Amino acid sequence: MDVRYEIHVQGLLGPALRAAFADLRCVTATRRTTIRGRLSDEELRALLDRLDRCGVELELLCCQSRDG
């Protein structure tokens, strides 16, 4: 089941990292990027792993199931 996620990370994501998340909406603001979209559990794990490998610090992770 896909779940809608909103992920807040510190800093601005560069073009290569944003391109890696092309299916998701990335919004930048002062010193923060918000990533939004529907992800499976496996896709979420892969996204978080990629952010971690790139040294991006997670600030907030929110989710809402299809039912909610």
Q: What is the pLDDT of residue 42?
A: 95
Q: What is the pLDDT of residue 67?
A: 58
Q: What is the pLDDT of residue 61?
A: 97
Residue 31 · residue 52 · CB < 8 Å = no
DSSP 8-state assignment for residue 11: S
Query: 67: part of which helix (H) or strand (E)?
Result: none
The tens digit of pLDDT for each residue in 3-57 reads 999 999 999 998 889 998 889 999 998 899 999 999 999 999 999 999 999 999 9
> In terms of residue numbers, what domain contains 14?
3-65
Q: What is the pLDDT of residue 34?
A: 96
Domain count, the chain: 1
Q: What is the pLDDT of residue 62?
A: 97
Please report, for the domain that includes residue 25, its CATH number: 3.30.70.250
Q: Which amino acid is at 55?
A: G
